Homo-oligomer: A and B are copies of this chain.
C-alpha cells in the first residue's frame, strides 16, 4: 500500500486471497494508515517492506500515487528482491507500471489500466488487451475492479478450481453490472473520449 493507492485495487484481491487459507498482510513504507486516492479512506499498513523477505504472492495495486513511486528505490529494490522467490508476482491497474519500473516486465506480456496501456512498452513489456494476463509467474490485470477476476484466477492456480469456486461463492461474485460500459470497447464512444481527455490530468508522469 502507498499514499494515493486506489482502494478497490487492493481490497478486491485481498477479499479473494484472504479466503484461500494463507497468511496475508498489507505492506508499505511505514506502519500506520495510508490515505487512498480520494483522501476519504485510510487503509492500514501493518508491515514494512524489510519485514517481508519471501512472500509467496505479491500484489501491487495501482492508483494516482503510483506516479510518485516510479523512482522509489526502496520499493523497487524490495520488489526485485522478493520477486526472485515469489510463486506469483502480480499487479492491478497501474500497479503494473510499478512492476515495470522495477524491471520485472522486460519481455513479458502484460496489461494495465486501459488509459495507461501506452506506458507499458516504456518498460519493455508487450501490451496485451485482456482483463488478466499470465506470463510465467507475472500476473497483471486491467483497471481497478479487475483485481477480483485476477485474484480468482490466482486462487485457482494456488489451491485449484474447486477452492477458487468456493471463494467466488463466498463473496457471491455473480457480477451483474447495469450497463456494458466497463471497457473502452463497449462503452459509448463519447464517454470513452471524455475519460481519455480527463486522464491527461491524472495519469501523466510528472517528471
A136 interface residue (CB < 8 Å to B): no
Query: In whole angstroms, how far apart are the Cα atoms of A43 and B41 in the complex?
Result: 7
- Of B6, B42, B170, the residue contacting A33 (CB under 8 A) is B42
Q: How many A residues face the partner with a CB closer than 8 A?
A: 63
Query: In whole angstroms, how far apart are the Cα atoms of A132 and B145 in the complex?
Result: 18
CB-CB < 8 A to A153: which residues of B? Answer: 178
Report if A131-B182 is in contact (Cβ < 8 Å); known contacts: A15-B8, A38-B24, A40-B18.
Answer: no
Pair B38/A44 contact, Cβ less than 8 Å = no
Give chain B nearest CB distance to A9 CB in angstroms.
9
A206 interface residue (CB < 8 Å to B): no
State how many copies of this chain the complex holds: 2
CB-CB < 8 A to A171: which residues of B? Answer: 8, 143-145, 182
Residues of A within 8 A of B (CB): 6-8, 11-12, 14-15, 18, 24-26, 33, 38, 40-44, 46, 93, 113-114, 131-132, 142-146, 148-149, 152-153, 156, 161-162, 164-166, 168-184, 186-188, 191-192, 194-195
The 5 closest A-B pairs by CB, nearest first: A143-B172, A42-B44, A174-B182, A175-B175, A165-B181
22 sampled A-B residue pairs with Cβ under 8 A:
A8-B14, A15-B144, A18-B38, A25-B40, A33-B44, A142-B172, A144-B173, A145-B171, A148-B175, A152-B179, A164-B179, A165-B181, A165-B191, A168-B179, A168-B187, A169-B181, A169-B187, A169-B195, A170-B195, A171-B182, A174-B183, A174-B186
